Amino acid sequence: MNFEQLYADRAQCMKTSAVREFFKLTEQPDVMSFAGGFPSADFFPMEKVTEVLRDLIAEEGKFALQYGPTEGNLELRQYLAEKMTREGSPCTAEHIIITNGSQQGMDLISKVFVNPGDVVIVEEPGYVGGLGAIYNYEADRISIPVDDDGIRVDLLAARLRKLHSEGRTPKFIYLVPNFQNPTGCTMNLARRIKMLALAREYNFLIVEDNPYGEIRFEGQAVQSMRSMDTDGRVIYLGSFSKTFSPGIRVGWMLAEPELIQKVACAKGSTDLCSNSLGQRMAYRFAASGYIELHVSSLISRYKARRDLMLSCMEKNFPADVTWTHPKGGFFIWVTLPDGMTARQLLLKSIERKVAFVDGAGFFVNGKGENTARFSFSEAAPDKIIEGIAILGEIMQAEMVAYKKEKTA
C-alpha cells in the first residue's frame, strides 16, 4: 500500500523529531541518561496514590471509570480556578478546560488558530513538543533567541516591525517563561510586561506554558503574563505532570470562556474527554492539600540534584564550555565553543553509556549544533557523579583535538 500518495498535505509536516528518535538510544537500561525530561519515578508518592485510588474506587468508581464532560471534571475545574485565582489570575471554572497533559493544550490551540502558512513565533531554542504541535498545522515558525532572562523582546520587536511591513502578523507566540525547556532560563518581569505590550500593539495571542513554575529552588516567583493580562489574550497552560505524575495525563488550559468553548469542540472530536480516573485522582491529591507537601519535598530533592550536577560540571567540564544555572525546573543548557558539535560528543558518550540530548533539535532554523540539554531530574546522584565525570573526560579530549584543528 502506498500511503505517501494518500496523505493529507499537513501529514507531510508530521515527522518524529530527531530528539525523540535519539531518546530510544539513550533510554536503554544500562545507560546513565541525562536526556529525558522525565520526573524522577523515585519521587512518585506511591503510598498516597495507593490510598487515594482505593478510596476513589470505593466511593466514586462508577464515575471514575466512565466518560466525563469534554471540558473536564467540574470539581477539578473549580479547584484549579481557585488555585489560579489565588496565584493572581482571577477566573471561574468556565475559564478552565482539562486536557490530556499540557501537550494536548498545545495541539488544540494550534488546531483552533493555525491556518497553513500562518506565522507563529517560538523560542530559540524551544520545547520540542510545542514546536512539533505548531508545525503539524503547517505554521510558519519564526524563532527569536532566548538568553538568561528569557526571550529577547528587543529582537522580537524588530522582527514584528519587519513582519508588519510585509503585511504579516503572528497568530500567537509560544513561550515557556519559567525554567524553560530546554535552557532552564526564566523570563524576567520587564520582558513579560514588554511582551504583553507587543502582543497588544500587533494583536497576537500569548501561549504561556508553565509546567515547571512550581518547581522553584530559590528566588521569588515572577508574575505570570496571564495575571497581568487585561484583554484575555494570554492562554495559560498548566500540568500535573511534573508536580504529581505525567502518567495520569492531566493538564489544564486557562483562557476566556468563549475560547474554552471553541477548544472544547476541537477536543471533543479528538478524544471525547480526558482521563476520568486521572482527573479524579488529581483532584483528591490536590484538594486534600497533600500536593503542597509533595511539591515542597520535590523542590528540595530536585534542588539537591541540580546542585550536584552543577558542581560536577564545574569540576569536570573544560573551561571553554559554559552552562546555565537554572533556579528551578529540570534542565541545564550547555554551550560548547563555536565549531564543536554536540552530536559528535553524544556519539562518543553513548559508547561509554552516558547520554544527554544534543541541542540542534530545539531549533527550527538549523542552528544550535554546539549546544546540549542536560536533565538533572531523573538520574540518581551516583549516576550524576559518574556520568558527568565520564563526559568531562570525553570533552577534555575533544577539546584538545578541536584546538589542534583550529590552530592547524
Ligand X SMILES: Cc1ncc(COP(=O)(O)O)c(C=O)c1O
* Contact residues for 30 (Cβ-Cβ < 8 A; gap 6+): 353
User: Which three cell numbers, joined as nine digits, stand for 385?
Assistant: 557523579
Window 147-186: contact mask with ligand X (x via CB under 6 A): -----------------------------x----x-----
Quick one: 70 or 245, whose CB is closer to ligand X? 245
Using CB under 6 A, pick the residue from 70, 136, 183, 239 that binds ligand X.
239
Residues 64, 69, 72, 77, CA torsion sign: negative
Neighbouring CB atoms inside 10 A of 71's CB total 20
243 binds ligand X (CB under 6 A): no
Q: Judged by CB under 6 A, which stretch of 112-120, 124-132, 339-347, 372-380 contacts ligand X?
A: 124-132
Q: Report the nearest approach of ligand X to the CB of residue 171 (Å).
A: 19
Identify the three-state secondary structure at position 145: strand
CA distance 173 to 234: 10
Q: Report the nearest approach of ligand X to the CB of residue 251 (Å).
A: 4
- DSSP character at residue 143: E
Site residues for ligand X, 3-62, by CB under 6 A, read 37
Window 271-300: contact mask with ligand X (x via CB under 6 A): ------------------------------
Q: Select from 29, 37, 33 the least CA-distant residue to 350.
A: 33
Q: Report the nearest approach of ligand X to the CB of residue 290 (Å).
A: 20
246 binds ligand X (CB under 6 A): yes
329 binds ligand X (CB under 6 A): no
Quick one: 89 or 104, whose CB is closer to ligand X? 104
Residue reference for cell 490530556:
100
* Contact residues for 28 (Cβ-Cβ < 8 A; gap 6+): none
Identify the three-state secondary structure at position 364: coil
Q: Which residues bind ligand X (CB under 6 A)?
A: 37, 101-103, 127, 129-130, 176, 181, 209, 211, 239, 241, 246, 251
